[in-house]
Chains A and B, each alone.
Chain A
Amino acid sequence: MTRRDNGAVLDSSAASTEARRPDAAAPASPGARPPAGGLPPDRLPPAGPSRRAISLIVLAIALLAAAVIVSMATRNRTTVDAVAGDDGWAGAVLEPTRPRPEFTLTDTSGRPFDFAAETEGELTFLYFGYTNCPDICPIHLSTLNQALRAQPDLSATVVFVTTDPERDTPERIRSWLDGFNGAFIGLTGTPEEILAAEAASGITPAVPDAPGEDGFYLVGHATEILAIGTDDRTYLAYPFGIRQSDWELDLDRIASGEVPPVASAGAVDVTAAVAGQGKAGEAASVYLTFDNRGDDTTIDAVSTDAADQVVLHGTDASGVMTDASTLDLPSGTTRLEPGGRHIMLEGLRQALEPGDTVTVTLHFADGETAQVAMDVVAYDDVLDRTTPQEAGA
């Protein structure tokens, strides 16, 4: 049955089994004109492309679909690329690393909370924000929470410090945090105490805007979530824009015991660093662990403001300590450990006590330098800190 009507759109008068003919004649409708080029429809070329063209189109679309599926199945790294360096960490690696911040604020139950003591040895995420934040704070914390939920075996503490103590009462903070995760810790304090906490954490101080007519105001604040490892070093800072997939990549690495390097120079990462305690005028040892991803190299010199002289020490076959002019770093992992090679800071300008931080600069043969900040620990604890350990678990 041919269709001579003027387009009854869903009309199925052609409900017979008549097949569609590509070169079927056009209907002679009132006002209808011949199609392009003035050709009547029955003189137009066949409607569709050739089989070869269709095959090519199908192939192209199949490839496209495959690419899309792969793209969607793999994690989107758009944001990571904007933040991450060559090391592949989604967060910004802090070099040098910073010690776990020390400050005391008040938790949501009104109890004093000594941050360093209460979270010591725990993988900790520290964030400064405020509950009236319309966008960054809730999204940032929600994203972190979702990522942590995807890592149920990873033990981590999340601490939120308000930058708006006037409006953020302990009750409000608790209620707001419970919206994400009831285990999140909320802290508040006086503006001075919070300012001190921000300074201790190396965070830019928050600044409230002027209130509007309705009394509402925003607070300009740093957006980084700081990641502090089980060794009480602050390794990473996660700015706003980090996505759940980005977090999960880093949390996978942390869960497997990996930590970002404390310092890097070219292909050499310093993956662990610690200094022994020492009295003023005397000496203290520095122990580092290197991961050399490139060719063999050497450290020609080490400098520091903390001591009059820095000496590279080796150990001979009989175990006697000897001076070394350079420190060879073959490709792979090299550890400076008690009883083996180490760096000696001689003529300390002031005493190095456990809890202090000391910084040394490594000068490599190829001209690269790396500044390494490290904790000072009691000598009894040095061995613990130079032995590889699970960082996140």
Chain B
Amino acid sequence: MTWWCSTVEWPWTWEWRPYVGAWLLVLVMTVPYLRSMRRRAKTVGLTDRDKRAIVWYLLGIVAIWVASDWPVAALSASYLLTMHTAQFILYGMLAAPLLLIGMPEWMIRRFLERTRLYRAYRMAANVFVAAIVYNGVLILTHVPNLLDGLRASQLGSFVLDIAWLIAGLIVWTPVVSTISELRLRGAIARCTFLFLATGVIPMIPAALITFSPEPSYATYELAPRSWDFTALEDQQLAGAVMKVTGIFITFPVIAYIFIQASLAESRHVGTRDEGGSAPGPAAAA
């Protein structure tokens, strides 16, 4: 039995394969969370926000499970660079923000206190550090020899996947963290950071992958082909997927932030007008 998915040499089949490590990861991330929520419910009760957080968190866990288990992980580790890129997106661009949204402030503060990770997390959440860490991990884990080497072993593949998840958690912290002092203030700041950190810089490795005249990764070039496209076409598609991620994830989030900011501003103005002392026509009447 395989605990984590790594490169194999046999041809792809749709025969299901279990990856115990993926299930364990899901359990380790879910059980303590739900127990904590249950304790909270018994003591002070859950707010509506807590209940919504559970949904977000579980969606993040689903994203991790999909990324770590068959078939996505199997295709990603051995056969298709495109699926490898999709897996990266699942970890770093989908699961990470969902997990952050799904962890209420009281919970993450307690976690950071118990693990004494607050200072390190706060330092990592600095916008410069977060952008550098995320893009550093992105670039480093796409160095051909390094990626081929990591993918070859279960441990290496696990390290690669977890690195993506952690980098994703770090880069999304200034945007969606429930800890207010770690979150950027202002919609423009958050959108600019998100655009630059996750939308622009990743285009560099994506372009290198897309426009390479030959396959860059032995793992995928020498994989048994079960599809009608070549290793180079797979690589070009992977580069395109990496590039358009911004369109499908980053840009909607940016749009959402702006809409929320606009609505909040309207409410703010409305409240001020209603409670303000400036005499209006009604007051005058």
Asked if B261 and A58 sit within 8 Å, CB to CB, the answer is: no
Contact with B along A315-341 (1 / 0, CB 8 A): 000000000000000000000000000
Given known A61-B135, A143-B221, contact A45–B119 (CB-CB < 8 A) = yes
Task: Check B105 against A29 for contact (C-beta < 8 Å).
Answer: yes
Within 8 A of B (CB), among A220-260: 240-241, 243-245, 248
User: How far apart sit A17 and B264, CA to CA, in the bound complex (Å)?
Assistant: 13
Q: Which residues of A contact B132 (CB under 8 A)?
A: 57-58, 61
B182 contacts A47, C-beta separation under 8 Å: yes
CB closest chain-B residue, reference A136: B224
- Does residue B93 face the partner (Cβ distance < 8 Å to A)? no
Residue of B nearest to A41 (CB): B181
B244 interface hit (Cβ, 8 Å): no
> With A68-B142, A135-B224 in contact, is A48–B180 under 8 Å at CB?
no
CB within 8 Å of B: which A100-152 residues = 134-135, 138-139, 142-143, 146, 150
A47 to B116, CA, bound (A): 15
The answer to whether B123 and A33 touch across the interface, beta carbons within 8 angstroms, is no
Q: Is A49 an interface residue (CB 8 A)?
A: yes
Residues of A within 8 A of B247 (CB): none
Distance to closest chain B CB from A135 (angstroms) = 4
Among B61-69, B82-90, B184-192, the one that faces the other chain is B184-192
Residue A212 is within 8 A (CB to CB) of chain B in the complex: no
Q: Are A244 and B215 in contact (CB under 8 A)?
A: yes
Asked if residues A245 and B214 are in contact (CB atoms below 8 Å), the reply is: yes
Min CB distance B224 to A, Å, is 4
Binds A, one of B19-27, B143-151, B154-162, B275-283: B143-151
Q: How far is the CB of A292 from chain B (nearest CB, A)?
A: 35
Majority secondary structure, B binding face: helix
Residues on the B chain within 8 Å of A79, using CB: 218
Contact with B along A1-43 (1 / 0, CB 8 A): 1010011111111111111111111110111111111000100
Mostly, the A contact residues are loop
A146 to B223, CA, bound (A): 15
A190: Cβ under 8 A from any B Cβ:
no
Residues of B close to A21: CB separation below 8 A: 185
Q: Which residue of A lies closest to B135 (CB)?
A: A61
Whether A17 and B186, one on each chain, are in contact in the complex, defined by CB atoms closer than 8 angstroms, is yes
Chain A residues, CB < 8 A from B109:
26, 32-33, 35
With a cutoff of 8 Å between Cβ atoms, the chain B residues found around residue A64 in the complex are: 136, 139-140
A139 touches B222 (CB 8 A): yes
Say how far B109's CB is from chain A's closest CB, in angstroms: 5
Chain A CB within 8 A of B265 CB: yes
| CA A14 to CA B188, docked complex, whole Å | 10
B29 near A: Cβ within 8 Å?
A: no
- Is A387 at the interface (CB under 8 A from chain B)? no
Given contacts A34-B113, A76-B144, A135-B10, contact A7 B184 (CB under 8 A): no
> Do residues A142 and B260 form an inter-chain contact, with CB atoms below 8 A?
no
What is the distance, in angstroms, from B54's C-beta to the closest C-beta of chain A?
13
Closest to B263 in A: A12
**Chain B residue at minimum C-beta to C-beta distance from A54:** B128
> A78 contacts the other chain (Cβ, under 8 Å)?
yes
- Asked if residues A12 and B260 are in contact (CB atoms below 8 Å), the reply is yes
Contact partner, B125, options A8, A47, A58, Cβ 8 Å = A47
- Asked if residues A20 and B125 are in contact (CB atoms below 8 Å), the reply is no
Q: How far is the CA of A3 from the CA of B181 in the complex (A)?
A: 9
- Proximity string of chain B (197-221) to chain A, C-beta cutoff 8 Å, 1 when within and 0 when not: 0000000110011001111101001
Alpha-carbon separation in the docked complex, A143 to B230 (Å): 9
Contact of B101 with A by CB under 8 A: yes
Judge if A73 is at the interface, Cβ distance under 8 Å: yes
Q: Across the two chains, which residue of chain B brings its CB closest to A17?
A: B186
Chain B residue at minimal CB-CB distance from A179: B228
Between A8, A16, A47, A243, the greatest number of chain B beta carbons within 10 A of the residue's beta carbon is seen for: A47
Question: Any chain B CB within 8 A of the CB of A210?
Answer: no
CB distance from A28 to the nearest CB of B (A): 10
Distance in angstroms from B56 CB to nearest chain A CB is 8
Residue of B nearest to A25 (CB): B181
- Which residues of chain B come closer than 8 Å to A20, judged between CB atoms? 183-186, 189
Nearest chain A CB to B63's CB is how many angstroms away?
16
B51 at interface, CB cutoff 8 A: no
Interface membership of B94, Cβ < 8 A: no
> In the complex, how many angstroms separate the beta carbon of B85 from the nearest chain A beta carbon?
15
A30-B106, A32-B109 known, 5 other contacts, Cβ within 8 Å: A9-B178, A18-B185, A19-B189, A64-B139, A139-B224
Interfacial residues, chain A to chain B (CB-CB below 8 A): 1, 3, 6-27, 29-37, 41, 44-45, 47-49, 54, 57-58, 61, 64-65, 68-69, 71-73, 75-76, 78-79, 134-135, 138-139, 142-143, 146, 150, 240-241, 243-245, 248
Closest 5 A/B residue pairs (Cβ): A7-B178, A15-B261, A12-B261, A48-B126, A36-B118
Q: List 9 A-B contacts (CB under 8 A).
A: A9-B56, A9-B101, A15-B265, A16-B265, A18-B186, A48-B128, A58-B128, A58-B132, A73-B208
